[in-house]
Amino acid sequence: MRLSVIGCGYLGAVHAAAMASIGHEVVGIDVDERKIASLAAGEAPFFEPGLSEILSEGIASGRLSFSTDFAAAAGAAVHFVGVGTPQVKGGYAADLTYVNAAVDALLPHLSEGDIVAGKSTVPVGTAASLAPRVSATGATLVWNPEFLREGFAVQDTVDPDRLVAGVPAGDEGERATQVLREVYHPSIAKGTPFIVTDYATAELVKVSANAFLATKISFINAMAEIAEVAGADVTMLADAIGHDARIGRRFLGAGIGFGGGCLPKDIRAFSARAEELGRGESVAFLREVDEINMRRRERAVQLVQDGLGGELFGKKVTVLGAAFKPYSDDIRDSPGLDVAVRLHGLGASVTLTDPEAIENARRQHPHLTYVADRDEALTGADAVILVTEWDEYRRELSPEHAASLTAGRVVVDGRNAFDPAAWRAAGWTYYGMGRP
Ligand code: UDX
């Protein structure tokens, strides 16, 4: 099928390349000329495992192209809209500027019977408000939320755990459903659940899934806060409750909390939208989820300070990680980077290292010191804090080797990813998050 993908960021670029990889003819469109030039040359403009490979393959096969011209969308049967919906400046709501702009720019190039499939995460009610503009061209709007995780985006797009489509009622909706079934045929044939709903449900599936995940992380971080005063170990607690199949161990990793381009802004936008709908109280707990999450960053800073005898000023602190999670170079709302900035603000001399995210971090915080080489970054440190659990740190850094480089022996494990016994045995004072 011929497809267009509007917006070539973390979501759209992967979607375009993944759709080409399953046999479709795809054009990716974005207003950012540099991004399009890079994608057209087969180079991923950000770090995402497997993306460069499917980009090059798609371009070589002739099925994948990129353009800054919306006219290139003409002739496609389905137009995916995957532009960003960031948090508005000075508020909690989602900024729909890019969604509106993308749909408006697309309208002149739509034909009778085309499908416009919204993939961006939007406040419930957005699709219903956009639908008349799309229908006026003879096309049909559907909402087809995306659940990909950064770092696993290619795999999650080619082989998702479910597909959700919010469609209009009646024949129009049925026809649109058939077209989406064709697009996603390889996944559906493998048994991926394909759930067809109305617009509002589809929009809510996405935000409620992210709200649930954020709540799960903040739940375990709240237990970490209790464990800290009770002398318990939150990681053992998580293992134990995780054996209950109703609870499950995934997303019970206590530490410095969640970040990234989705969870933080999505729970805030959800709260703002619920307020608008007169049901703010229904998701009032999300404020608490957010606050617990932010408190963990303070706690991590406090642990570094405690480890250094209460004084950060003039102390050399090495921060392992900058990305909001491993296998990504994304630093949007990165808790680790925030911890680094706070330590710097309190007078510490902070050195950051990260296998992929240094350039992005440097652009946002040019005043911090960045060192690409892990061992060089560790050399002479008074304290070390792990904020992103890359294998380079979690698996490949032995406490003995680290101790041979640093000046001090204080380690704060912001992701509970190290073995406390091994670090202590190597002479370190080990601080975990919610561990004795
Ligand atoms: C998330 C959702 O998982 C995905 O379905 C949605 O489409 C987009 O948002 P992503 O932002 O890529 O994906 O990251 P995710 O793997 O969910 O991690 C989010 C944050 O939570 C990271 O900062 C991670 O470090 C943190 N996290 C995750 C924890 O602190 N503890 C955990 O147990 C799991």
Q: How confident is the model at residue 129 (pLDDT cuts 50, 70, 90)?
A: very high
Identify the pLDDT of residue 113: 97
199-436: CATH homologous superfamily?
Answer: NAD(P)-binding Rossmann-like Domain (3.40.50.720)
Ligand 1 contact, 285 CB (< 6 A): no
Residues 270-325 pLDDT 10s? 999 999 999 999 999 999 999 999 999 999 999 999 999 999 999 999 999 999 99
Q: How confident is the model at residue 335 (pLDDT cuts 50, 70, 90)?
A: very high
Where do runs of H (alpha helix) occur along 320-357? Answer: 335-345
User: 210 CA to middle of ligand 1, Å?
Assistant: 9
Q: Taking the domains of the chain in order of start, what are their residue ranges?
A: 2-197, 199-436
Q: How confident is the model at residue 399 (pLDDT cuts 50, 70, 90)?
A: very high
Identify the pLDDT of residue 426: 98
Burial tier of 198 (Cβ tally within 10 Å: 0-12, 13-18, 19+): middle
Q: How confident is the model at residue 126 (pLDDT cuts 50, 70, 90)?
A: very high
Residues 14-72 pLDDT 10s? 999 999 999 999 999 999 999 999 999 999 999 999 999 999 999 999 999 999 999 99
Q: Ligand 1, closest atom to CA 266?
A: 9
Identify the pLDDT of residue 387: 98
Name the region of 417 (left: φ>0; alpha: ψ -120 to 50; beta: rest).
Answer: alpha
Ligand 1 contact, 344 CB (< 6 A): no
Identify the pLDDT of residue 31: 97
Identify the pLDDT of residue 211: 98
Ligand 1 contact, 257 CB (< 6 A): yes
Q: Tell me how far apart the alpha carbons of residues 265 and 365 are, in angstroms, rounded to a whole number.
A: 20
Q: Do the first three CATH levels of 2-197 and 199-436 match, i.e. the same topology?
A: yes
Q: Ligand 1, closest atom to CA 260?
A: 11
The whole-chain average pLDDT of the chain stands at 98
Residues 156-179 pLDDT 10s? 999 999 999 999 999 999 999 999
Mean pLDDT, rounded, for 108-129: 98
Where is 70: in which H helix or E strand?
A: none
Looking at domain 2-197, which CATH architecture does it have? 3-Layer(aba) Sandwich (3.40)
Residues 198-241 pLDDT 10s? 999 999 999 999 999 999 999 999 999 999 999 999 999 999 99
Which residues, 6+ apart, have CB-to-CB distance to 10 below 8 Å?
A: 46, 48, 150, 153, 261, 330
User: 202 CA to middle of ligand 1, Å?
Assistant: 20
Mean pLDDT, rounded, for 373-402: 98
Q: How confident is the model at residue 405 (pLDDT cuts 50, 70, 90)?
A: very high
Identify the pLDDT of residue 373: 98
- % of the chain with per-residue pLDDT over 90: 100
Give, in order, the Cα–Cα distances in Å from 355 to each of 37, 352, 388: 25, 10, 10
Q: Tell me how far apart the alpha carbons of residues 18 and 155 are, in angstroms, rounded to a whole number.
A: 9
The answer to whether 189 and 264 have CB atoms below 8 angstroms apart is: no
Identify the pLDDT of residue 258: 98
| pTM tops 0.95, yes or no | yes
Mean pLDDT, rounded, for 248-252: 98
Closest C-alpha to ligand 1, atom 17: 149
Q: Ligand 1, closest atom to CA 326?
A: 25
